[in-house]
Structure 1
């Protein structure tokens, strides 16, 4: 941004639905994004304690509990995810209880040093609450690498050395933290990377902590939140326990019960869902997560693509019987034989070496996908290419300007200036060191432990390079549209062509390539 005649010309991008406009001097000290200006305050109290005893206790506990629960519930057929929002709500009364009952005493860790901390530094404040929520969010997803261990144990009936499995889980989870530090300047410090989903949490933090005067005939933020929270919790019992059928109401299937065509058209789960709707918010939010946190232009864009693929391309391909599509279900994630039966993977796999059995495959059947699954795979590749081109054409000049600003350490965002003024940033070399150590351990995993993961060292480095390349464009899309793209599809395609016949190598490569980028984006969102 540059000054001209005492006015600020703010940059804008059509994809963010922000109009180019001039602002007065009074608005220079605010964000150029309207949604941020309306949600995030531009004041700070640097005297509030942050890394307190309460922060460490509640943060580590919430991280461990959420990590265990989400990994445990991941194995359900209908998996249940407990987000950091749950911890964000539950730790508030716990923090207030600790502030009320813990003694106001300072403990010295070692008598010969000045290392000490207070059990109760004062009232439980918003900064402690935010840090605890970040702790919780780091453990709010299941460990993706555990899927590799599960595959070997449950489907291949083999074993992985415990220490190798532990290193695999830790390295895949921690690689992304290094990427986050590398791209912090572009995806955190920039005022145009505004992370829509974060604004929802900021609103909740303000509702829980800011003192408000209740307007006449109205509600405060906290009162409104409590009304919605209690009402939604009470209603959630209805579709999930009392009447599960209302999670998907398919009237077309009810009217023509014996028609296969009607089931294909009207089924909400394995069909096109025409005339099907739900009275359950979890069903509504399962497609876009919370539509309240996603910009309207992103929802409209995704919905148009959904209509084109599901209601135009898929039916045309299915009913014209393209590639014998009518032999298989119209929507399914399974693989099938040529005659439409479910594929027996055990017939094409050597369970001793965990390698592809070419002779068994030649004597069995080629693998077939449902038409919708084939479109899903194809469009996953197109999405990543479109992501890179979109970032280059729509955000390329901004990223270049930020690259030059990085060397001058100069940004105009008010929140960046407040943080830089009051707090010392984590040194950049920390992230480089973390990345180097984790990459070294990842290479050790590929070369040691009897090479039981099948992936050679160059495969690990290729997966890391893939994740490092895509973290920036994927992060830009997430930071502006609240839509996160995954690298799992393209990762398994790349290693499948380069190193065929090695199923474990494929899933390990996919894990390093996909989850490190996903972890980086999640950590950047916390930043």
Structure 2
């Protein structure tokens, strides 16, 4: 931890000359939202590698991982984001700063020597940021839960097949850790450039500043409410209101006046139901429903939200009704208009386990007897547009960001870095070979799954190589779309 003077124990101050020179003092980000939210100064004296950071961070990661996995099986998934841990960890950090002893200890020479303390001073913003990064890992970095857990669930609950705990654990760990290697190799192109601003991150930055920075004297003397007070009022109101649609009156989760007006009409249910229909005229008073799939619309830039809205109207209110009622495409009326189930040709549910043999492979004779698989028109179009988005992603990134990617690839060392990247240059960077080694180890462990444990995983080694190749191709374009619009592209699910 090093020595900590009495003047700068956890106090956030701007140190002259940190990160930028005198001739670059006015340098700012080219993105207006970033300029208004993220400070262009840094205080390198704040203690970071602390006992508080590790203990609260690990606990937050484990807790969010459990909660998001637990709530994943709800019809309307309740996602516990890292912002929850960001708020909850603040009083815990301040409590530990008051309660822990300030005695100093000398570390063994094997660990580098030097002095360290369980309590190096007041709880500071950098510790808080690292705790939130831990929590974000438990939140699967926006995914809510690890994707590979769904594979285990499908194998055991849907196909009624055995998969051992070790195999399932190794499958989840390797697929998650592989992403860290990917991210480290791609940070030069999707993190350091100024135009890769990741809108959702600004919400966390703004919250950090509201929790740790004091309002200036002019704001305190005026009638304006302070940021911290506004946050506490909004938090209390949100907490109190969630009990109404969440427990006391669940009907507020999806209010469909069309279904109420015509309770016996199947067509009215298909048009108006927000759960099993197109949701025409339906609305909700539950914020967790609004943000359950695309997360908070307040975070995304307006052009991205408007783009999603136009696509939704074209898809749900124009394309699907024409295909279902107008054209009866592929006997669409035989099946529900909105469902993720698989169906027989007569509209009954498809018995998927009956067409899978003992080796967990497709039994072609049983499949021929049962007939082909049928999807609801909504589900079929969802997959169709999702695969179309794969080509659209490559085209969009090539046209709008291809030149910048090429220039960064060609002269990434010589070009002028972003102001916040400059500030980070003061600290030792993580070597690139660390990420490469991490990715190589995860791929090697995955190959072990596909060879030694092939009977349980049912994925050949060449399938793993092919999947990694597809992921490598689409990681950059999908990351660019997420970094500039805050929208996860549909092909991230298809991959």
User: What TM-score comes out, normalization by structure 1 length?
Assistant: 0.85
Q: After superposition, where does 1:478-489 map in structure 2 within 5 Å?
A: 478-487=482-491
Alignment-derived partner of residue 434 in structure 2: 430
5+ residue gaps, structure 1: 1-24, 492-527
Report the 3-state secondary structure (helix = DSSP H, G, I; strand = E; otherwise coil) of the residue aligned with 1:117: strand
Q: Does 1:397 align with 2:424?
A: no
Alignment of 1:193-342 (within 5 A): 193-213=196-216, 214-320=220-326, 321-342=328-349
Q: Is the 8 A contact 1:31 1:191 kept in 2?
A: yes
Alignment counterpart, residue 183 of structure 2, candidates 160, 163, 180: 180
Which residue pairs with 1:474 in the alignment?
478
Say whether the 8 Å CA contact 1:377–1:489 is kept in structure 2: no
Q: 1:179 to 1:411 in 2, by over 3 A?
A: farther
**In the aligned structure 2, how far is the partner of 1:111 from the partner of 1:373?**
61
Offset from partner CA, 1:402-423 (integer Å, 9 cap, x none): 2123243x43311111111x21
Does the aligned pair in 1 maintain the 2:454–2:460 contact within 8 Å? no
- State the match for 1:88 in structure 2: 86
Give the distance between the partners of 2:238 and 2:99, measured in 1 at CA. Answer: 32
Alpha-carbon distance in structure 2 between the residues aligned to 1:209 and 1:447: 51
CA distance in 1, matches of 2:324, 2:159: 34
Contact 1:190 1:411 in 2 (8 A): no
Measure the CA separation in 2 of the matches of 1:46 and 1:99.
20
1:484-523 matches, within 5 Å, as 484-487=488-491, 490-491=494-495
Give the count of matched residue pairs.
464
Q: Name structure 2 gaps, 5 residues minimum.
A: 1-22
> Who is 1:102 aligned against?
100
Q: 1:450 to 1:339 in 2, by over 3 A?
A: closer
For the Cα contact (< 8 Å) 2:78–2:292, is it kept in 1? no
Going from structure 1 to structure 2, the CA distance change for 1:218 and 1:99 (only over 3 Å counts) comes to same
CA offset at residue 468 of structure 1? 1.2
Q: State the partner residue of 2:416.
A: 411
Match of 2:330, SS state, is helix
Counterpart of 1:146? 149
- 1:111, distance to aligned residue in structure 2 (A): 6.6
Q: Which residue of 2 aligns with 1:497?
A: none
Confirm or deny: 8 A CA contact 1:160 1:452 kept in the other structure.
yes
Q: Report deviation, 1:56.
A: 0.6
User: Kindly tell me: are residues 96 and 272 of structure 1, through their superposed partners in 2, closer, same or farther at Cα, counting changes over 3 Å?
Assistant: same
Q: Which residue of 2 aligns with 1:503?
A: none
Distance 2:321 2:83 in 1: 39
- The answer to whether 1:131 aligns with 2:130 is yes
CA displacement at 1:109 relative to structure 2 = 4.2
- Decide whether the 8 Å contact of 1:405 with 1:411 is kept in 2: no
Q: Does structure 1 residue 117 correspond to structure 2 residue 116? A: yes
| Deviation of 1:469 (Å) | 1.2
Quote how far apart the aligned CAs of 1:159 are: 2.3
Against the structure 1 CA distance between its residues 334 and 306, is the aligned structure 2 distance closer, same or farther, given a 3 Å change threshold? same
User: In structure 2, what is the equivalent of residue 343 of structure 1?
Assistant: 350
Of 210-219 and 390-399, deviating more is 210-219
Instruction: For residue 346 of structure 1, report the CA deviation from its aligned partner.
Output: 2.4
Which moves more between the two structures, 106-115 or 173-182? 106-115
| Residue 7 (structure 2) aligns with | none
**Contact kept? 2:184, 2:432, Cα under 8 Å:** yes
Q: Distance in 2 between matches of 1:170 and 1:112?
A: 30
